[in-house]
A and B are shown apart, each in its own frame.
Chain A
Amino acid sequence: MSAQSEKQNPAFYALIVALVVMSVGPIALMLATSFKTNVDVYDASVPAFFFSPTIKNYETVLCNFLWYEPEHVDYCDPTFGRALVNSLIVGLISTGLTLTIGCMAAYALVRFKFMGRGAVSMTTLLMRMVPPAVLLVPVFGIWTFQYGLDQTYAGIILIYTAMNLPFVIWILQSFIVQVPIQLEEAARMDGANPFQVFFLVVLPIIQPGLAAAAIFTFRIAWNEFLLANALSGRSTRTVPVTIVNSITEYDINWGVIMATGMLLAIPPILFTFVASKQIITGMTAGAVKG
């Protein structure tokens, strides 16, 4: 603990290297496998990481986006390409909606002193508790029979927005509290109406908070399987649903499915490297008081 002795012993560095290998290893293995042909996967003499890579798996998966026709693909199965587009649509729209609506609500709660922060954190906590599996039955029933939203984008987007709202409101509140009220008063003096104050003054200031909230919302919408599986139809399936559908087949083509998994994993991995600090803040927010 002593501050001067910064020379750590080698065992310490060995531990750190081991930890990094352990946490990245499975992901690296998936990446490596996604560049392997199925023959190589089943050939025990081909090592896990050092082999001649091929992009054939990615060509198979993304065949309907390619401008050329890969010769090894006899029949182009558009399922995954379509699912990728669906996932993007659902993820982006629900993130946009959640942020807009959540931001407005958070602003009202802070500036007009509605409910206390305590009530909002309590709701957030309660929402964190509800497992998606619990929402499965009622959401399926209501969306199908009452709202008529089954098999549409709107249905999936609606439930993701609702699931993410409490958390987004809660995290944005803590950013809005820090916006100096004088700034808003000055804008109002100049004749701005409440909506202008909100969109032109407050929003630009809380951008870091919006970024954190956006990452969390998009990640949940992008990764979620259970509700998407119950609500989506043939043409609105998202990527996680197609992955689960394809692994129930008896003969798994590991290279292709790893390429699919990798494509699903890439956006969250990118976010992690770009904004790990905000992610950690959001992740630890429930336990360490903010």
Chain B
Amino acid sequence: MSVAIKANRLTPYMFLAPAGIILVFALLYPIGYMVYASFLDWSPSQRIGQAEFIGFRNYVNLWNDDAFRESFWVTIRFAAIVVTLEMILGVGLALLLDRKLKGMAVLRTVFILPMMIAPIVVGLMWRYMYHPTVGIFNRTLKSFGFEGIPWLSDSTWSFIAIVIADVWQWTPFIFILALAAMQSLPRSALEAAEIDGANEWQKIFMIKLPLMMPVLIVTLLLRLIDAFKVLEVILVLTNGGPGLSTEILALRIFRTAQEFQELGEAAAMSNLLLMLLMALTIGMFLYNRVQEARAARQRAAAEKDDT
């Protein structure tokens, strides 16, 4: 019996060990390593031990680097615009399509296609469509007698181009989440509103949206986090150009490491990006906590009223 108990006590560790080992060696250690590397002057041909410790100089360099600041703002602008557009479109579509519909399952399947395909391929097909001569957009414009648009060679248009591609790929994500939230709304609230004579707009703004708010905010934050990670689509479409107009931070990290071989500086940038995302994630977590606490309080209050 005692042997069995001992075996039982060890089992959980044996089940957990492989996952634990992999996570520690291939995930936690690299992230810690990155924090350390951000204080080094390090090129890819050196072992990390040979790299010179330079304190905060990488960060100071970044701070003084106009190109970095530019790409930081491009990232913020991209994330803000893309997420705003996708939220408006996604939630709007969910409001429009929230009815009993036969083909809804098929529709949802079709909508998740853009998210499942490799970002590299998404970039590829948009690059083809934006092509100045063979692309479908400019061909259509020209066939109507308009001038072609310099989609990927003008700094304003190329920014618009990457925004359109991202909106195409990720609006369905918000649509699906918003629709799920909407269909789990309490019917009673909507029926009560109907009895009180609320019109469609009032129902949307006074009842549906406020009740969906918790899910919408989490959706927004998830999407925001993902918007900071976009890289492959832009890499294929514009590679950050023309100039720095579409060089978002993730792409800049990639190029700093790959093309300019400044691993220390790339690590410092990674660190900053990670901190930014960490702040967002913690914000999301706290928001969840507050919501739960509030829900619990309301439930407690409701129970008190009952007795």
Contacts and interface: CB of A to CB of B under 8 A. Distances in A.
Interface in B177-222: 177, 180-181, 190, 194, 200, 203, 215, 218-219, 222
Contacts of A133: 229, 231, 249-251, 253-254, 270, 273
Given A29-B125, A254-B128, A280 B278 contact: no
A42 B107 contact: no
Nearest to B46: A145
Nearest to B214: A287
Interface in B104-157: 105, 107-122, 124-129, 131, 133-134, 136, 139, 142
Interface string A254-286: 100110010011001101110011011001101
Main secondary structure of the interface of B (DSSP, over half): helix
A194 B12 CA distance: 9
Interface of B: 7-8, 11-13, 15-16, 18-20, 22-23, 25-27, 29-31, 33-34, 37, 42, 44, 47-48, 93, 96-97, 99-101, 103, 105, 107-122, 124-129, 131, 133-134, 136, 139, 142, 168, 172-173, 176-177, 180-181, 190, 194, 200, 203, 215, 218-219, 222, 225, 228-229, 231-232, 235-236, 249-251, 253-254, 257-258, 263, 266-267, 270-271, 273-274, 277-278, 280-281, 284-285
Main secondary structure of the interface of A (DSSP, over half): helix
Given A137-B257, A162-B23, A145 B128 contact: no
A288 B15 contact: no
B121 A165 contact: no
Interface in A62-117: 100-102, 104-105, 107-109, 111-112, 114
A288 B180 contact: yes
B124 A243 contact: yes
Nearest to B264: A137
Interface stretch (A20-28, A51-59, A203-211): A20-28
Contacts of B257: 136-137, 140, 230
Contact of B228 (A131, A161, A257): A131
Interface in A97-152: 100-102, 104-105, 107-109, 111-112, 114, 122, 125-142, 144-145
A181 interface: no
Interface of A: 1, 3, 6, 8, 12, 15-16, 19-20, 22-24, 26-27, 29-30, 33, 41-42, 44, 48, 100-102, 104-105, 107-109, 111-112, 114, 122, 125-142, 144-145, 158-159, 161-163, 165-166, 169, 193-194, 198, 219, 222-223, 225-226, 229-230, 240, 243-244, 247, 254, 257-258, 261, 264-265, 268-269, 271-273, 276-277, 279-280, 283-284, 286-288
